[in-house]
Amino acid sequence: MSDLLLELEGLSRRFGAVKALDDVTARVPPGAIGLLGPNGAGKTTLLKILIGLLAPTSGAARILGRDVRRESLRIRQDLGFLPETDAFVLGLDAVRLVSLAGMIAGMPRRQALRRTHEVLSTLGLEEARYRKLDGYSTGMKQRLKLAQALVHDPPLLILDEPTDGLDPRGRADMLRTISGLVRSGGKSLILSSHLLRDVEELCDWILVLNEGKLVWSGRIDDLRSPRESRFRVSCLSGEARLREALAREGCELLDETRNGGLRICAPSGWDGARFFRIAGEAGAVIRELGPDRESLDQLFERLVRGG
């Protein structure tokens, strides 16, 4: 079996004239993967191809070393899927739904029931487990969707917008739960979310899609690692003189930060000491100096806009 969690080779999917996925190629190691992209980027199409619900028009995809075209049953055996939309059998209570999920996954009836009670109580649904699903709140539904994905203890979780519709507390709870499953439980994760903070909190690798094309695949840290030549500087005094001095030394002023500082692109090889020396010579006093790290939102914007 391959050591990679995900291998995509020229993966494409068309719906008539629309290219939902366009020649996507990536190799991703096991761990927590975030799938990012604006609406219509092809995230859900990719997820459905990986689960085997949709066939690619061309190209190949392997997940956990298995080919999505030929081994979709084995793939679904090894994963738990939390869909974005409600996917329940109305009329059932939580125990019947989750145990049904376990039995369809192949668990014997008694073991599925026992495991269902364990999973529901660990996800905080113990008291509502015999209540009809029609009366569940959004948060309870999200936890129930996670429960039915977890019941057969799969090594991989594929979660499509797991915090969608949750209040801040519910979102924090859900993220902690998923984090526990990944970090303590040793599960791999593919998380599709439009909430960049969720991805930032849970994932160490991201795939960014835009208009069906892959625009980035790599570790978040690599993408966000301080770009060596970019700094943020704020001054107690003499900011104008520092600007002039830096410009003379070949620095480029990118823009001003929200709290009045400067974003500077310096020639390669510069370090903090050089800024302090130039400030001292120019009669300016630096209050704060540091690498110019991008937030995930800025990264996302930059990638999607091709910056």
Partner 1 sequence: MAEAAGAASARAWEGRLRPVRLRWIPIAREGLRLLAQRKLFWPLYLLCLLNFLFNFAVIYLAAHVAVQQEMIAKMAGRFLENYLRGGEGGPYYHFIMSQAFMVMLILALAGSGIIGGDRRQGALLFYLSKPIARFDYILAKFAIVFFVGSLVTTVPALVLFLEHGLLSPTWEYLLSNADLIGAIIAYGSLISAALGLAMLALSSLLQRTAAIVAAWAAIFIFSPAIHAFVREGAPESLRYIDLWFSLRSIGGLLFGVRRQGSPEICAAIIAGVAIASVFVLARTVRAVEVSR
Q: Which residues bind partner 1 (CB under 8 A)?
A: 15-16, 18, 48, 51, 53-54, 73-74, 76-77, 81, 83, 85-92, 96-97, 100-101, 103-109, 111, 115, 118-119, 121-124, 148, 150, 152-153, 173, 176-181, 184-187
**209/273 Cα distance (integer angstroms):** 39
* β-pairing verdict for 230-237 and 262-265: antiparallel
Task: Tell me the angle at which helices 138-150 and 94-104 cross, rounded to the nearest 10 degrees.
Answer: 30
DSSP per-residue codes, 141-186: HHHHHHHHHHTT--SEEEEESTTTT--HHHHHHHHHHHHHHHHTT-
In angstroms, give the least distance from the CB of 272 to partner 1.
38
107 or 264, CB closer to partner 1?
Answer: 107
Backbone angles phi, psi at 285, to 5 degrees: -115, 120
Measured from the CB atom, the residue of 180 and 250 that comes closer to partner 1 is 180
Q: In terms of CB distance, is 4 or 100 closer to partner 1?
A: 100
Nearer to partner 1, 33 or 54 (CB): 54
Of 92 and 289, nearer to partner 1 (C-beta) is 92
Two tokens, residue 90: 């109305």
The CB-of-183 to partner 1 minimum distance in angstroms stands at 8
* Sign (positive or negative) of CA dihedral 90, 72, 194, 22: negative
How far apart are CB 34 and partner 1 at their closest, in Å?
Answer: 19
CB of 264 to partner 1, least distance (A): 40
In angstroms, the CA 114 to CA 65 distance is 31
Q: Give the shortest CB-231-to-partner 1 separation in angstroms.
A: 37
Nearer CB in complex with partner 1: 105/265: 105
Nearer to partner 1, 90 or 273 (CB): 90
Q: 81 is written with which tokens? A: 């899927």
Could you tell me if 156 and 82 are in contact, meaning their C-beta atoms sit under 8 angstroms apart?
no
C-beta of 198: minimal distance to partner 1 in Å? 15
3-state secondary structure (DSSP) of residue 265: strand
Beta strands in the chain (DSSP E): 6-15, 18-28, 32-36, 58-63, 66-67, 79-82, 156-160, 188-192, 205-210, 213-219, 230-237, 252-256, 262-265, 285-291
CB of 161 to partner 1, least distance (A): 14
